[in-house]
Structure 1
Amino acid sequence: MSRHSKILLIALVLVIGSCVTPFEIDVYSDKKYLVVEANLNDIDKEQSININITNNFAENTYNSPLSELKVELIVNKTETINLIETKKGIYALPFSFRIAPGAIYQLRFQMPDGTLYQSSEEKTSQAAAIDKIFDEFVADGIKGELRDFPANYVYLDFRDNPNEKDFYVWTWTLWENQRFCKTDYYDYYCGNKCWEILPNKDFNVFSDVYSNGKATFGKLIAKIPYYSFDGALLEIRQQAVSEQAYHYFKLLTEQTQTNGTLVDTPPAAIVGNIKNISNPTEPVGGVFSVATVVKQKYWLNRENGIGKAIPVGLLGRMPVLVPNQITYPCLKSPTRTPTKPEGWID
């Protein structure tokens, strides 16, 4: 990251109602930047958004939640839904709220000092169904700085909606058997059943500009590290998003790939579709997006990797076993669960 004071990183600007452009946060500056995570969908769970301020300290950036904001969602330009702050910086919609295809949504929020921020109007269509999921083993599938790592490449087939301009984003969640529930100098076995929960580190995007209404075969949507000989459960989410959100996630993906590996943090924040009404030149990181989602689970049996490579392991190394029988319980958290995932095959 450059040490010189600058905000704009690339001259690339994608003009589609509002700009999508990366900007670099100067770690030697005392400037603070607003970052919004507001991805709403029709999945059956509580919908919420996060609003933070980035703070710079010792060449690192940290997010501090912004509290006591007035946050609203405008639906079809007429209906206003007030969001409630459930935790510092986290604002939730009513539990029954879900994104509906064809509706128009706009995010608006106001600071305690009266500064007003507003997103572009966002609209989405119904996500297409997934026809087929399959995978192949690739011994050097994930590129690393020092060496390459084995992986399962996961593909799917789907048929695009006819007579509509569609934009897709794919994300996924992976459940893996976790055998070690505590690590200090030694690695301690779990005292009960345990599953590690691993989300995607990058976004996979697609536009139907050249394939509108046609079938797409063998679209690569995930590269899953060869963690174990054991099978794992993968949930794939195929999302239909707006053109503005598509360009945001596309740029985010390109930054991640350019930076070297799938697990690196992108080198710059990205300005999305949220603006300060009184000061439109203020860079606001993040995006407001709406999506309909098709979910499908896939059992990754990993049989196609047997004898071709050594698993990398969830610890990323060989475990250092404790010299006694001490175990630790598997505790429920955002990244781990003792509850057997629905669809898991023993």
Structure 2
Amino acid sequence: MKAMQKRLGIYFFAILVLTIISNCIDPIEPDFELREGLIFVEGFASTEPGVSFVSITESAIEFGVYVVNFVEGASAELENVDNGEIVPLVEIEEAYVPPEDFTVAPGESWKLNILMPDGKQFTSEVEKVLDPIPLSDLKVQYDPELEFREIFGGRFVPGHEIFVSFTDPPGAGNYYYWSYRSYENLDICEKCRESYFRDGECRPLPRGIGGLQPYYDYPCQSDCWRIRFPESIPIFEDEFSNGRTITDFSIGNAILYTKEDMVIEVQQFAISASAHEYYKVLKDLVDNNSGLNAPPPAGLVGNMFNPADSEEFVFGRFTAAATSLASVFVDRTFIGEEALEGREPLITEPTFGSPLPPPATVSAPCSETRFRTAIRPEAWIDQ
């Protein structure tokens, strides 16, 4: 029975990963038996500030469909097992994050501890931080038919392919994992549909008042950037390229969701062999998602566990990784193709004679979240 539950969990995990990777907000219709209450943990501790995070999600059935919900109210901490240092994580925008200036260092050993709202405890195996491997080059290339998407009946969509170059150190095997963040200038910081913005939130429109709009836009009070994350799992091992220079290795696509200028910041992680094996299995699941009903690949085992119950299966992995960063500015002024995200007409509150409760509000702050920031990207160029 436990083996069958584990296998069903792996099936669900494949869908869960697809949901997380694509930032999908639509529920997933199941075509095989799944279970509620499956826990997935994904965590990184990095040698670069602002990169470390932990995500905790749980499977659920809502209105007959399977969804993945962020777990609120957990307590998470990073522990340096060399000196006993404890770093508490704070819950911000569907993630648990350490202080902005937190970093780990090569040679240190860390683990992740989690206390769930129901009292269950999860912990990770100890991860040792390796030495970083520098990126020597980062570039992007625009393609008007970059990637096929199942939208508008199915078509190729435009965007930029991302390439990195680096020199692999000779000797022992090296393993790589990449993530990246794209920063796009954000003009509207809040859009309140059938509502209006007051005291940091969208409030329902008053009933019985005429002259109201279907939504109100609130431009950003200061410079603000939207943050997007990758929709793939790029990995590499140096089995056949030990000690060589790797040139223009493709690590993913930045789809043309908008035509705003963009900064792409790439994080190159030096990871362990076990971490690489884990992400290789995930990559297989994501790249071959049309075959989810086939037997899942072997080896889908992370390093999270319940110390009080060795039989409980916990999906996910905590990785402590040496990180190298590189950024590039992308000018999208002269792109002719249409962006995937259309722009609705700008509707703002009237400053005089408004039927909405006072005070009239015409802008909103650029609040710091995992998906947007007022901190200017290092490579940003004003145009």
Q: Structure 1 length normalisation: TM-score?
A: 0.74
- Tell me how far apart the structure 1 counterparts of residues 311 and 377 of structure 2 sit (CA, whole Å): 46
Q: Which amino acid aligns with 1:8?
A: R
What is the alpha-carbon distance in structure 1 between the residues aligned to residue 105 and residue 252 of structure 2?
27
> Residues 181 and 81 (structure 1 numbering): CA distance in 2 closer, same or farther, change over 3 Å?
closer
Partner of 1:244: 274
Match of 2:294 in 1: none
Indicate how the Cα distance of structure 1 residues 249 and 46 shifts in structure 2: closer, same or farther if over 3 A, else same: closer
Distance in 2 between residues matched to 1:112 and 1:298, nearest whole Å: 41
Describe the shift of the 1:252–1:188 C-alpha distance in structure 2 as closer, same or farther (beyond 3 A): same
- Counterpart residue type for residue 82 of structure 1: I
Whole-Å Cα distance in 1 between the matches of residues 101 and 188 of structure 2?
Answer: 38
Instruction: Tell whether the 8 Å contact from 2:265 to 2:326 is kept in structure 1 after alignment.
Output: yes
Question: Pick from 320, 329, 343: which aligns with 2:364?
Answer: 329
Q: Percent identity?
A: 22
Are 2:81 and 1:81 equivalent residues in the alignment?
no
Whether 2:341 is the aligned partner of 1:342: answer no
Q: After the TM superposition, which of the residue ranges 32-41 and 186-195 deviates more from structure 2?
A: 186-195
User: Residue 273 of structure 1 is aligned with which of 303, 308, 311?
Assistant: 303
Task: Give 1:344 shift.
Answer: 1.2
Q: Would you say the 8 A contact 1:9–1:24 is kept in 2?
A: no
Identify unmatched segments of 5+ residues in structure 2: 17-29, 194-213, 291-299, 352-361
Q: How does 1:1-346 map to 2 (within 5 A)?
A: 6-9=5-8, 22=13, 31-45=36-50, 49-51=54-56, 53-58=58-63, 59=65, 60-65=67-72, 67=74, 73-76=79-82, 79-84=83-88, 86-87=90-91, 98-108=103-113, 117-145=122-150, 146-183=154-191, 184=193, 185=214, 188=217, 190=219, 192=221, 193-259=223-289, 271-302=301-332, 306=334, 309-312=336-339, 316-322=341-347, 328-334=363-369, 335-346=371-382
- Matched residue SS, 1:148: strand
* Pairwise CA distance, 1:239: 0.9
Q: Which residue of 2 aligns with 1:17?
A: none
Partner of 1:265 in structure 2? Answer: none
Q: For 1:40-94, what per-residue CA distance to the aligned partner results, in whole angstroms no more than 9, with x for missing partners?
A: 111124956455554443322323335467x562525xx3333436459987768
Q: CA deviation at 1:210?
A: 1.5
- Shift of residue 339, structure 1, vs aligned partner: 4.8
In the alignment, the residues of structure 2 paired with residue 128 and residue 144 of structure 1 have an alpha-carbon distance, to the nearest angstrom, of 34
1:238 is matched by which residue type in structure 2?
Q
CA change 1:233–1:198 in 2 (3 A) is: same
Deviation at 1:33, TM superposition (A): 2.9
Match of 1:264 in 2: none
Letter in 1 for 2:381: I
Greater share of residues in strand: 1
Gapped regions of structure 1 (runs ≥ 5)? 13-20, 261-269
> Over aligned residues, Cα RMSD in angstroms?
3.9
Number of aligned pairs? 317
Taking the aligned partners of 1:72 and 1:97, their CA distance within structure 2 comes to 11
Q: Per-residue deviation at 1:224?
A: 1.1
Find the counterpart in structure 2 of residue 15 from structure 1. none
For residues 178-227 of structure 1, the C-alpha deviation after alignment (integer angstroms, 9 at most, x for no partner) is 23444444674736544222222333111112211111011012311224
Provide the C-alpha distance between the structure 2 equivalents of 1:93 and 1:181, rounded to a whole number of angstroms.
Answer: 25
Which amino acid letter does the alignment assign opposite residue 336 of structure 1?
Answer: R
Question: For 1:9 and 1:128, how far apart are their aligned partners in 2?
Answer: 38
Alpha carbons of structure 1 residues 28 and 121: separation in structure 2 relative to 1, 3 Å: same
SS in 1 for 2:71: strand
> Comparing both structures, which one devotes a greater share of its residues to helix?
2
TM-score by length of 2: 0.68
Deviation of the 1:318 alpha carbon? 4.1
Structure 1 residue 160: Cα displacement? 0.7
Return the offset for 1:155. Answer: 0.7
* C-alpha contact (below 8 Å) 2:73/2:117 kept by paired residues: no
What is the rounded CA distance, in whole Å, between the counterparts of 2:59 and 2:96 in structure 1?
18
Whether the 8 Å contact between 1:52 and 1:66 is mirrored in structure 2 is no
Q: Which moved more, 1:201-210 or 1:87-96?
A: 87-96
Per the alignment, in what secondary structure is the counterpart of residue 253 of structure 1?
Answer: helix
